[in-house]
Chains A and B, each alone.
Chain A
């Protein structure tokens, strides 16, 4: 379009001749963005490889780690890669993924929420108690009430943090303690809870994790999702080209759509394989599309709306955001509400998986798993960097470790230590690659 954006040497004012050192420095830093202006497939791949070498590898090392984990577990126990176990893994991973996504909102702001484990517990308790006999509310009333309770807790904490300027670590540490107390109170002072446990009596609440889509419906839904997503991918590139902007090569877009279709086919195929021993058990568990809908919704919120943009801006440079006229307090408070609501959804999924919610729920461990899921996936603890997708991948890794080690019959002691090693390894790889990235600056 204009000469400004052509690849080439930077315009330098005539008064000063660029020293060769400075010039090579400029060229060096520009290579990082090669992929952004690539128009052909080979250019794109070349640019991508340069980015990987410069430490901007993105999600790739995490995926490689996941593949490595899967290979190790499969070699040690051939039951790991069976349809039954993989479907199990998906349902086991859902609470971690949802809690990880909840944490991403506040991590992007450079804050943390330690209370989401028990926020999830309270949401599940409210939902299950309302849906319990003898006076059951409809399932959707119970779920809305549970989410509303979670949102309220998030609002209280968010308001304390933003209006009074208290550190989120301390306020939500208070939440971690106080909400466990509140959950115990709810479980001990309600006639539907016996012995500190409320069971699920509503079929729909139980089906969230235990129900399956009809195999044919699974296929149709998958094809529809891939087609719609593929259309939006294609349309985005089309509109960019029409506006005269650099768009990624068409081949790459088709490759992405093909990869998405392949992933969809594999997931539905695995889930549609009969995994029952006595009677037929097949189909995609409901929780898979539920998690995907939340993932897509939050990804859209973060990537395509003003609100999402402001979350990244505040996490990157709060002072710059303030000077741009962004209301920091409002954005932050809403983020804590969204975190709590997502945690509430995670709690309902968690209870559905267990068939009940009890006073033995360990919300402290859950929140640490949630932070671990987000961080393993690549979200920064220091704000400004991260995606909802990171929680998906991190959550799957956490669930895969627990699942694989369970299959191997490892003790809880070994499981904790190995999870810790994976977490530290993920953060180390991230830090080292970042160091590689900054050294070229």
Chain B
């Protein structure tokens, strides 16, 4: 079990183990109270000053909640929909229709899979072109029936393989970018874990882009960047600093709209609470976006991406 935790989480875990041992033992209430206070202050201390590389590790945490973990907790009713109607169902992307407090919502998200068997089935959350084509089919379904779309991004990237190239990985991503720009329903994007480059963006064009506090979004993985720059993937921590890939960075660049706060210690320490926060963000944002006329919504969406870029002109 120990390899499921990060090094900098160890002091927190030691205290929590002590707490768990004392729970229910008569006469230990005072000690328990003290320990709980202590663990809170340790968490605050560790999490108040995370490096970008530590945030990368949290975004990839083996215990990090994935799309289906949130679906279970956010939706009152959910049916998964499968397949791109052309080639195959790609389990690295899940899609479905569901209800949240009486509102019908379409969801599309990456899914990494929890145990080894599921990870293999889901290709560690790295989609093939058919995954993106499934996503697009479901976006069109949402548009046809005027249902708002939620997407959840958590992928190392689009799958780099022979078959993926044969079936047009580039085309599948490009087409989604183009089509999502003018889909006539609200699209709300959450980066929940790893926002791995084009493979993330391919379901990431929307009216509101939110990032969970300890998620990342980057043009290239820190390892990939490090091996190009310094010919050494072990320099990834330094690359993460240079690439500026955290929610705070992207908010400061004006690329995302908001940061969704995580429970103290990260989303994996209290999945229900995290899901609750996301749910209220979804409901609030849907209300907000549904009050905007559709043509205006699309103008704003295009304008949002149209404005991104830093350059100088004489």
To the question of whether A and B form a pair in one complex, the answer is no
Give the B-binding residues of A (Cβ under 8 A): none
